[in-house]
Amino acid sequence: MRSSLNSYGYIAPAFALLGLVLFAPVFYGGWFSLQRIQYGAPTGFAGFDNYAKLFDDPELLATLGRTFVHTGASVIVTIGIALALSVWINRLAPRFAFVVQMIVIVPWIISTVVAALLFRWVFLNDIGLAAWALKAVGVTEFQPLTTSSGAMALLVAISVWKRIGYAVIILLAGLKGIPDDYTEAARIDGANGWQIFRRITLPLLKTPLLLVAIVLTLSNINTVETPLVTTGGGPGDATRVLAIEVYERAFVNFDLGGATALALLMFAGNIALVIAYVRFTKWKA
Partner 1 sequence: MSTFAIPTVAKREIAAPGRPPIDRFWALLVLLPVAALMLVNLLPLLWGVLTSIKPEAAIFATPPQFAGFTPTNAHYERVFAAGFVQSFAISLAYSGAAVVLALTLALPAAYAFDRFDFQFRQSLFLLIVASIPLSLGAAALLIPNYVYFVRLGLVNTPFALPLIYAAHQLPMAIWVVKGTI
Q: How far is the CB of 275 from partner 1 (least distance, A)?
A: 8
CA pair distance 133, 158, nearest whole angstrom: 18
Cα 168 to Cα 53, 67, 81, 122, 209, distances in angstroms = 42, 24, 9, 24, 10
Q: How far is the CB of 30 from partner 1 (least distance, A)?
A: 8
Q: How far is the CB of 39 from partner 1 (least distance, A)?
A: 12
Instruction: Indicate the residue among 128 and 150 with the shorter CB distance to partner 1.
Output: 128
CA dihedral 235, 239, 245, 249 (to 10 degrees): -10
Q: How far is the CB of 201 from partner 1 (least distance, A)?
A: 14
DSSP 28-42: HHHHHTTEEEETTEE
Instruction: Indicate the residue among 10 and 203 with the shorter CB distance to partner 1.
Output: 10
Instruction: Indicate the residue among 20 and 139 with the shorter CB distance to partner 1.
Output: 20
Q: How far is the CB of 61 from partner 1 (least distance, A)?
A: 19
Instruction: Indicate the residue among 19 and 47 with the shorter CB distance to partner 1.
Output: 19
Helices 59-90 and 148-176, packing angle to 10 deg: 40
DSSP letter for 92, please. S
Instruction: Indicate the residue among 61 and 274 with the shorter CB distance to partner 1.
Output: 274
* DSSP strand pairing (41-45 vs 35-38): antiparallel
| 184 close to 200: Cβ distance less than 8 angstroms | no
